[in-house]
């Protein structure tokens, strides 16, 4: 007999709107630090987000927008140094409180812990960024709330490949039918689906027009009793925000046993 056991969270765009006001700003600051006049506008960044991973995104940008760029030294080393600076600048933004959690995230994490559910992270971003976000935006000891923080370069293929979700399942010996993933993007949904994990999608401004077919539920936010969600696809029954009860309903429907 099945039953919900594990919630697996994406980070960027899901726990917080980190992309436009966090990663994008830090990328631009790192370019300036390296004496380059590259500027990623809000609009251009929306385009670049189709490439998952910061180093991969810089490489794509160079190939498509500055194909004759001649970096000092090996291109891979240059990108790695630039990206390390970006991580330092991004975690500083988090420490300064520049990026709040999305609606309902803190509430659901606490409710899930109180209900005895296990928590995990499956993200494309670097582990340093996840730790900084958990510490500064969730709780000083929030890192210890998660059974595993699967992040960044620990897998060969980033989302939309299922590898990072598969790693979480393998490490925890978890049955995907007893898990629910939380994602904000089509790349993330495809990664979760590829590992046979049902997903709740909370869209944001960069992702709301993407294809979320196959998601258990698509909403505009996790929400709370005084700030209900808007359902964009799927059936939330009488629920008005994403609670543990709703998640158990969704997991039960996906697994008829």
Options 2-10, 40-48, 212-220, 247-255: segment touching Mg ion (CB under 5 A): 2-10
Compute the radius of gyration of the chain from its Cα atoms: 18
Q: How many CB atoms lie within 10 A of CB 16?
A: 21
> Considering only residues 33-52, where is the footprint of ligand XBP by CB under 6 A?
52
Residue 47 to residue 29: CA distance in whole angstroms = 19
Residues 110-139 that bind ligand XBP (CB under 6 A): 123-126, 129
Both tokens of 175, joined, read 């049955």
Burial label for 256, CB within 10 Å (0-12, 13-18, 19+), is exposed
53 is an interface residue for ligand XBP by CB under 6 A? yes
159 binds, among Mg ion, ligand XBP, none (CB under 5 to 8 A by kind): ligand XBP
By beta-carbon proximity to ligand XBP, the closer residue of 59 and 178 is 59
Residue 60: CB minimum distance to ligand XBP, A: 11
Q: Does 54 bind ligand XBP (CB under 6 A)?
A: yes
141-157: b (≥16 Cβ within 10 Å) or e: ebbebbebbbbbeebee
Catalytic residue list contains 12: yes
Residues 121-150 that bind Mg ion (CB under 5 A): none
Q: Is 12 in the site for ligand XBP (CB under 6 A)?
A: yes
Residue of closest CB approach to Mg ion: 13
* Closest alpha carbon to 215 in 28, 45, 14: 14
Q: Which is nearer to ligand XBP, 161 or 236 (CB)?
A: 161
| Contacted by 23, from Mg ion, ligand XBP, none: CB < 5 to 8 Å by type | ligand XBP
Q: Is 10 a catalytic residue?
A: yes
The percent of the chain in helix, strand and coil, each rounded to the nearest 5, is: 45, 15, 40
Q: Which residues contact 199 (CB under 8 A, 6 or more apart)?
A: 180, 181, 182, 183, 188, 189, 192, 193, 214, 215, 216
- Choose, by CB under 6 A, the member of 187, 204, 224, 243 that binds ligand XBP: 187
DSSP state of 224: B
Q: Does residue number 204 form part of the binding site for ligand XBP (CB under 6 A)?
A: no
Could you say whether residue 202 binds ligand XBP (CB under 6 A)?
A: no
CA distance 173 to 147: 12
Question: Where does this chain touch ligand XBP (CB under 6 A) — which range of 4-12, 72-80, 170-178, 193-201?
Answer: 4-12
Beta strand pairing call for 231-234 and 217-219:
antiparallel
In the DSSP assignment, the letter for residue 37 is: -
**Residue from 7, 16, 19, 120 in contact with ligand XBP (CB under 6 A):** 19
User: Of 120 and 236, which has the nearer Cβ to ligand XBP?
Assistant: 120
Catalytic sites, residue numbers: 10, 12
Binding interface with ligand XBP (CB under 6 A): 10-13, 19, 23, 52-54, 57, 123-126, 129, 159, 185, 187-188
């Amino acid at each position: 007999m099945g039953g919900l056991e594990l919630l697996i969270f994406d980070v960027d765009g899901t726990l917080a709107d980190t992309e436009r006001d966090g990663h994008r700003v830090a990328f631009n600051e790192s370019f300036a630090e390296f004496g380059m006049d590259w500027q990623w506008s809000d609009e251009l960044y929306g385009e670049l987000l189709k490439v998952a991973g910061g180093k991969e995104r810089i490489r794509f940008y160079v190939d498509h927008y500055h194909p004759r760029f001649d970096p000092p030294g090996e291109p891979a080393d240059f990108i790695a140094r630039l990206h390390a600076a970006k991580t330092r600048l991004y975690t500083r933004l988090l420490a300064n409180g520049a990026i709040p959690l999305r609606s309902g995230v803190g509430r659901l994490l606490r409710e899930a812990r109180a209900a005895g559910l296990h928590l995990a992270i499956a993200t494309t971003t670097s582990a340093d960024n996840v730790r900084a976000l958990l510490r500064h935006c969730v709780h000083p000891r929030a890192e210890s709330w998660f059974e595993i923080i699967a992040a960044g370069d620990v897998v060969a293929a980033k989302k939309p490949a299922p590898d990072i979700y598969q790693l979480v399942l393998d490490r925890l010996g978890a049955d995907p039918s007893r898990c629910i993933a939380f994602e904000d993007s089509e790349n993330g949904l495809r990664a979760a689906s590829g590992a046979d994990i049902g997903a709740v999608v909370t869209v944001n401004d960069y992702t709301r027009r993407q294809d979320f077919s196959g998601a258990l539920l698509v909403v505009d936010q996790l929400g709370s009793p005084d700030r209900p969600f808007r359902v964009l696809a799927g059936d939330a029954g009488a629920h008005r925000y994403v609670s543990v009860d709703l998640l158990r309903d969704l997991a039960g429907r996906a697994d008829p046993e």
